[in-house]
Structure 1
Amino acid sequence: MKRKNLIGLGIVAPAVLGISGITAISARLYDYAFRRVDYVPETSADKQKYADDYYDYVNWFHSVPSHQWTLHPSDLENRVEATFIPAANPNAKTTVIIAHGYKGNGETMSNYAKMFYDMGYNVLLPDDRAHGNSSGDYINFGWIDRQDFAEWSHNVVNNIGEDSKIIMFGVSMGGATIQMTSGEMLPPQVKLMISDCGYSDLRSELSYLLKNQFHLSPTIFVPIINAINHHRLGFSIDDVSSVKQLKKNTRPFLFIHGEKDVYVPTYMVDECFEACPEPKDIWIVPNASHAESFWINPAAYKAKVTQFIKKYLN
């Protein structure tokens, strides 16, 4: 959410609004943040310099052999799609399930998919609900998606075999999704988890963005946004907590975060790291903005991830 969007949203100072005006603005804010969009928004200006490399990865994604997997195929309201990329070695037993970011889809994770593919792994790239080819009208910020990711892990076991090894990985909202998935009952084949710049909890993230991007009072707007979400999606934004879920985690966990992240502030990864039981590791990437850690130095990123995997996969 950027301040330049305030004019388009028709937002004015709360002091000149009555209750009905505040409610109307809250509804606009909710639709702006939660309603699905059937396109991938333009990336931030600080990452435009990586555009050529990004599209090289996207071209790879469309050229590599892949298959479509589906959850709930006969349920139009809960149908969830994923792209499965088998490893070059047909006998590969390790699969990485990758969670994409806010208003993205599996394709937008092409760079990470190729990184893991080049490491010899199968890759599964779901489209979250209200994203890509999956159903849904409103983004749930990983809370319902976490249950889908648990189901995806069972699908991997069913398709690849009981001797599967599963790594879960996500970036931004996808990082939070993996953090929240860590607190679920998962099959023993899920061996470790990696999150890059995931948020600590949804109330804190929304409050931070309202205050720092929109210069609006979270105290005024968040309770109404929460009420709208409870009506639309059936849960409170206070339920959406990486910190609470990570306390139940039983697997090795690597946290990655950019030092200069102003979208998900770095203090949030400290909260997540503190909540997570051992074994765990954390890497704060110098000079990296939000979701930029890979792009600053792909080789260093791959080396850090490889080191963690080699230490704990077996």
Structure 2
Amino acid sequence: MRRVFARLFFLIIPGVFLLSSCSSVFYYPNKGRLYYDPKAVGYAPEDIYFTDNAQRKLHGWWFPAEESPAKATIIFFHGNAENLTSHYLHLAWITAEGYNLFIFDYPGYGLSEGEPNPKSCLESGYAALDWVVKNKSREGPIIIYGQSMGGIVALRTAIDKKSEVNLKLVVVDSTFASFQRIARVKLSHNWFTWPMQPLSYALLSDHWAPADLKSISPIPVLVIHGQKDAVVEPELGEKVFEQLAEPKTFWRIPDGTHTDVFWRHDRKYRDAFLLFLGNLDRP
């Protein structure tokens, strides 16, 4: 019996340390590095500084549409690693198609003050949306685009703020909607961590996750997920889609990996995305 308890102890203790430090599990910020200089690829974004409710100074880049008036403004909630200078190129191309793009860094990323955690990231999402509404209200409707870890922040932001803005669409790419669920899925993949799965519910909180995805309706939601994604498993995207109400659309990318929808596949999904956006304007 003592041997059994000893084995359980040495299995559970690493899981406690792993999951109790949520920031180290979900967030990998880089403060100082410039990954891809926008000037080197023909972009000249405006530096934007704004504050959230906790008075943290946050940083973003505003990329204006190449035509006026803009068709809409896309607010980009990027993924969990590095900073906005390594993420903006995923969507910067769309400014040539008549859309503004605003990308911002969460607390602790890039030039943004503070430290990342589920609450502070959500507060930065609120603040980014508020900044666009206050300063760019004449720039057309708003599209929220959340990628990877940014997707869970984007979904909750859309739920909490949709009544305050002219929200046209929510897009979530390679994402999940529960910190507890993704931790459980990750723990289930290895024989050593498999017994630790219940710890994901005991040690992680979904207080700042989206509680009711159906409440986004009637705003349409586009879910994108590569079927070979090894970072955020496809089953997590399926769960997001399952919990949404209509109108909703799912793009299952057969050979897609993590967040590669607009870069591989001969870039055919760029055209498909533009067509999808155009169809939203039709009766």
* Range class of TM-score, shorter chain: 0.7 to 0.9
Structure 1 pair 22–107 and aligned structure 2 pair: CA distance change class (3 A): closer
Deviation for aligned residue 1:301: 1.6
Deviation for aligned residue 1:36: 5.2
Q: What's the counterpart of residue 3 of structure 2?
A: none
SS in 2 for 1:89: coil
Q: What's the counterpart of residue 234 of structure 1?
A: none
Q: Map 1:212-291; keep pairs closer than 5 Å.
A: 212=189, 215-216=192-193, 217-219=195-197, 221-222=199-200, 225-226=203-204, 237-242=205-210, 244-250=211-217, 251-291=219-259
Deviation for aligned residue 1:94: 1.9
Q: What's the counterpart of residue 7 of structure 1?
A: none
Q: Map 1:68-217; keep pairs closer than 5 Å.
A: 68-72=47-51, 78-89=56-67, 91-92=69-70, 94-140=72-118, 144-162=120-138, 164-186=140-162, 187-212=164-189, 215-216=192-193, 217=195
Could you give the per-residue CA deviations for residues 131-171 of structure 1, whole angstroms, max 9, x where no partner exists? 2221222332xx54344333323322322234621111121
Could you give the per-residue CA deviations for residues 47-81 of structure 1, whole angstroms, max 9, x where no partner exists? xxxxxxxx8xx3446652221222328966x2221
Letter in 2 for 1:301: Y
SS in 2 for 1:247: helix
The question of whether the paired residues in 2 share the 8 Å contact of 1:99 and 1:106 is answered with: no
Distance across 2 between alignment mates of 1:281 and 1:257: 11
Distance across 2 between alignment mates of 1:28 and 1:202: 12
> Structure 2 regions of 5+ residues with no counterpart?
1-5
Tell me how many residue pairs correspond in the alignment.
272
SS in 2 for 1:264: coil
Distance across 2 between alignment mates of 1:208 and 1:311: 36
Give the alignment partner of residue 30 of structure 2, picking from 38, 58, 72: 38
Given the two structures, how large is their TM-score scaled by the length of structure 2? 0.81
Deviation for aligned residue 1:214: 8.3
Given the two structures, how large is their TM-score scaled by the length of structure 1? 0.74
Distance across 1 between alignment mates of 2:243 and 2:166: 23
Distance across 2 between alignment mates of 1:206 and 1:121: 35
